[in-house]
Amino acid sequence: MRHLLIGTAVALAAIQHLAAQTALTVLPVQGSVHLIAGAGANIAVQVGSKGTLLVDTPPAALVPQVMAEIRRLSPNPIRYIVNTSVDPAHVGGNAALSTPAGGRGTGGAPFGFVGVGRPSIVAQENVLNRMANPPAGQPATPGATIPTTTYYLPSMDFSSNGEAIILYHQPGISDSDSIVLFRRSDVIATGDVFTPDRYPAIKLDQGGSVAGLIAALNKVLELAVPEAFSEGGTKIIPGHGRISEETDVAEYRDMIVIIRDRINDLIKKGRTLDQIKTERPSRDYDAEYGASREAADRFVETIHRSLTQRPGGGRS
């Protein structure tokens, strides 16, 4: 019991330290959409007279700070939460933002519950499937955290504050990725299929692939419209990193394609994975994307596995 109490105290202290050390940044993006950065994954916030929509949620420990910033943008209740993937960095605050037990806002009102029912948590159905059916030995996700509205077709649309919100299922990092288009505001929230300051973390064990990631980035480029000379126009909120434009996504896509092609060429020449790592096919991009030698090797290995293995582990 003594060890349990000590462990709990350490965990609480760590949570309090995280909250105390986190500085959030709130930026207007375009139209009715804002960005909250600094809480882990980027959070897109659409505000309006009918309520607030969030794309992704922060860790539960940071929900009070994030809610304080949301309340500065709008006093209206949270109506929708869209999860772009099942990654904990994107769903960690679902429960705290959508259940009375999750936390209290100004005057004791539950977060997201000011005068209305529970927010609808929207995601591609693989998010629900993975939360409800975790790997052996892992607990199921609490019901308050899982999506309440899912879609299985290539896209889903609904209206929020008079604006069309369109979700596109674009499996890339995993099989549960969604890209979110705010049509009137001309903003796209990509989730982790686009992270301009780092290499993508493709999760092969969750249905991700380099081919799927490239297809997802091509979809973003298909939806984005530049204003002039490939600048301005559609604003793009990545899963992590700075607000971007179409040219940033194109450069990121091209980087992945070039590294993939280099690795594929070396595979065709009979090189082993260790030999391919030694040749460093990502070397001219590593500094730009802040990758250490170890991180670059992991990225190369992931692409190699994606090119040479089927989901069941056999060679393609």
Is there a domain that residue 63 lies in?
A: yes
220 contacts: CB under 8 Å, gap ≥ 6: 179, 188, 190, 193, 194, 236, 249
What would the DSSP string read from start to end of 145-160? TS-SEEE-SSEEEEEE
Of 126-130, 137-141, 204-208, least confident by mean pLDDT is 137-141
Tokens 């994975």 found at: 273
Number of domains in the chain: 2
202-236 per-position pLDDT tens digit: 999 999 999 999 999 999 999 999 887 666 799 99
User: Quick check: 69 pLDDT over 80?
Assistant: yes
pLDDT at 11: 43
pLDDT at 259: 98
Residues 222 and 110 in one domain: no
Residues 97 and 217 in one domain: no
Residues 202 and 94 in one domain: no
Residues in the chain: 316
**Averaged confidence pLDDT in the chain:** 87
Range of the domain at 70: 1-152
158-171 per-position pLDDT tens digit: 999 999 999 999 99
Tokens 């480029």 found at: 221
Structure tokens at 95: 């429960």
Exposed / middle / buried, residue 212 (Cβ in 10 Å: 0-12, 13-18, 19+):
buried
pLDDT at 14: 46
**With pLDDT > 70 as the criterion, what percentage of the chain qualifies?**
83
Residues 20 and 147 in one domain: yes
Residues 2 and 128 in one domain: yes
pLDDT at 143: 66
Structure tokens at 193: 């299929």
Is there a domain that residue 259 lies in?
A: yes
CB 307: neighbour CB atoms within 10 A?
16
Banded pLDDT at 310 (limits 50, 70, 90): low
Report whether 182 contacts 46 (CB < 8 A): yes
209 contacts: CB under 8 Å, gap ≥ 6: 171, 172, 202, 306
Structure tokens at 38: 């600094």
CATH of the domain at 81: 3.60.15.10
CB 1: neighbour CB atoms within 10 A?
5
Residues 90 and 207 in one domain: no
User: What is the identity of the amino acid at 109?
Assistant: A
Q: In degrees rounded to 5, what are phi and psi of residue 66?
A: -65, -40
- C-alpha 3: how far from its chain's center? 36
pLDDT at 103: 39
Residues 91 and 222 in one domain: no
**With pLDDT > 90 as the criterion, what percentage of the chain qualifies?**
76
Banded pLDDT at 133 (limits 50, 70, 90): confident
User: Which of 167, 209, 220, 229 has the alpha carbon at shortest distance from 308?
Assistant: 209
Q: In degrees rounded to 5, what are phi and psi of residue 254?
A: -65, -40
Residues 59 and 123 in one domain: yes
